[in-house]
Amino acid sequence: MLFAYIILSISAVEFYDKLRYNIYSSKEMKIMPNIRPVSDLRNYTEVLKDIAVGEPVFLTKNGRGRYAIIEMEEYEKIQAALKLMKELSIGESSAKEKGWKDIAEVEKILGV
């Protein structure tokens, strides 16, 4: 069960800021993040029970945000989004340097 989770070494604030999580309950109220001291990992089963897709558990060390535990599915989604954003950035840079192609040119290149 432990292998189904990934631990990221970033602060809770950075995690929310960079990924722009919008976690809302059914009543459209913002859910409080699940923050626990890293010492709670001594009883990791309880910590893992609190993890849900889109709702990471943040671990603190010496009172400061240190790690985020997320489900593997969520981690894979984040990685795929980052890869897509990187490829889009490369494409945009290439288009700025070499010029944009209109739809007719793209269809001709693809044989559509």
Q: Residue 79 — pLDDT band, cuts 50, 70, 90?
A: very high
Q: What is the pLDDT of residues 29-57, one digit of tens each?
A: 456 788 888 888 888 787 777 776 678 88
63: closest CA among 97, 103, 12? 12
Domain segments of the chain: what residues? 2-110
State the Cα angle at 96 between 92 and 99, rounded to 5°: 110
**CB contact at 8 A, 58 and 41:** no
**CB contact at 8 A, 50 and 34:** yes
Q: What is the pLDDT of residues 1-34, one digit of tens each?
A: 333 444 454 544 555 555 544 444 344 445 678 8
Q: Residue 84 — pLDDT band, cuts 50, 70, 90?
A: very high
pTM over 0.95: no
